[in-house]
Each structure stands twice: as C-alpha cells, then as structure tokens.
Amino acid sequence: MSMPIAFYICLTLILFIFSGTDGYFYHRLAQCRFSSKDLHGIELIDSYVFNKAEYVRFNSTVGRYVGYTEYGVKNAKAWNSDAGILGQEQAELERVCKTGAAIDYSNILDKTVEPHVRLSSVTPPSGRHPAMLMCSAYDFYPKPIRVTWLRDGREVKSDVTSTEELANGDWYYQIHSHLEYTPKSGEKISCMVEHISLTEPMMYHWDPSLPEAERNKIAIGASGLVLGTILALAGLIYYKKKSSGVL
C-alpha cells in the first residue's frame, strides 16, 4: 500500500536550432528527486540532452559529471576538474532542491483529503452470485487507502475484486471495490474505508430496499407533486376570489 514515491522538480532549458526542414533540439533538464520528508537521499540530476540523447549528466550523489558520448565524456572531464562548477551544482541541491522540497511538503505532500464514498448495486458478471455491490471512493489524497467489505460485521475476503488506486491526473485518486454475493435476508453488508484523512474507519451500510437512483426519482416526483398541488390550490383560490368579486 505505501510504495516509495519520488517527486521531481524539473527546470528545463530548451533551445531549438532550425536549419531548413531539419531541426535540432537541445535541452537541459534539472530534476530534484526525493522520497521522504526528512529529505534523506535527496538528489539533483542535471542532464544535458541533444536530439533526445542525454550526453552528460551531473548526479549530486556522485558529486561529479558522467559523460555518455565522446563529446559528453570530454565535457565531463573538463567540468570535473573545475571545483567552481562542481561547487555550483552542489549548491543548487541546497538552494533549489531542499528549499523546493520543503515547500512541496508544506503545500501539497503533507495535505490529506477525505474520499467521497458511494455504495451502489451493479450488474454482476455472469458467475456464481446473482448480486454485486460496488464501493467507490473518489477524490482522496494521498494515494494509500484500504477498502474492505463486512458481512454482519465480519470481513469478507472471497469474491472481492478491486481496482488499483487510479490517478485522476489532478493529484486526487479514486478506487472501486466490488463484492459479488448471494443475498441473505436480514444480513447487513457494509463497505469500510480507511484513509489517513479519516480519524476512524468510515462505514457505509448497504440499504437493499431501493437503489439510491430510484429513491431520488421518487423524492423528485414527490416534491413535484407537492409543489404542483400548492400552485394549483393557490391558483384555484385566486380564481374563486376573483370571480366572486372579492379582489
């Protein structure tokens, strides 16, 4: 559930050189790589790339440049013999990476956002059981979460399938867990969600009486009926009063 994560701060310098229809593409990419709040092992990788091929790179853990082409090796040799250049790169680790990572933790990485959970009945795949429930958790952060099923208070492990935590692409995640089952009268089925944003596990109990969509339709229909009746009565009273000459 808790996998090591790496975050990158990328600073990119891009230079295009066009000559006729052929183009050349030079770019320089600086990455800050870190995976824990104590910034243990934080690393600056400064890459020089020509036409998609990285030819020389500074790795702050190594403290030197490494060349990958003849030209890159030549540059690495020259820059590695210059204490000023090496010192500048190492200073960037402090100035850019450590400062930036601390800001990332306080602004994003330390934040937690509660999931919105929906429990619904879905069509089971033709299989051993006639019914299937889906417990969906939406828009939570960070990624680790635990979604489990309880039947009369006891955890069910069989006939349960779940997606991975799916990235929405906007920092939030969603997950969907399915339980295939054969309904028994009087039993209580619940979906339990555990997440760092919650002080205690959240329980969602399945109400087999009517699916939520049906209940909503009935609620909307009933509201419409009440509103319609009130308007009709008001209209009738108005009409009566008017025709009897009171107004």
Ligand X SMILES: *[C@@H]1O[C@H](CO)[C@@H](O)[C@H](O)[C@H]1NC(C)=O
Contact code string over 133-172 relative to ligand X, x by CB under 6 A:
----------------------------------------
- Closest distance between ligand X and the C-beta of residue 95, in Å? 19
Among 61, 69, 112, 161, binds ligand X (CB under 6 A): 61
Cis check: omega of the bond before 115, within 30 degrees of 0:
no
Specify the residue, 59 or 75, whose C-beta has the smaller distance to ligand X. Answer: 59
Nearer to ligand X, 42 or 193 (CB): 42
Q: Does 59 bind ligand X (CB under 6 A)?
A: yes
Q: Which is nearer to ligand X, 89 or 180 (CB)?
A: 89
Does the footprint of ligand X cover residue 11 (CB under 6 A)? Answer: no
Q: Does 76 bind ligand X (CB under 6 A)?
A: no
Q: Which is nearer to ligand X, 85 or 113 (CB)?
A: 85
Strand partners, 167: 173
Pairing of strands 166-167, 173-181: antiparallel
Structure-block tokens of residue 154? 């006891």
> Does residue number 5 form part of the binding site for ligand X (CB under 6 A)?
no
Report if residue 62 touches ligand X, rule: CB under 6 A: yes
Indicate the residue among 75 and 162 with the shorter CB distance to ligand X. 75
For residues 37 to 56, the per-residue mask of contacts with ligand X, x marking binding by CB under 6 A and - elsewhere, is ------x-x-----------
Q: Which residues contact ligand X (rule: CB under 6 A)?
A: 43, 45, 59, 61-62
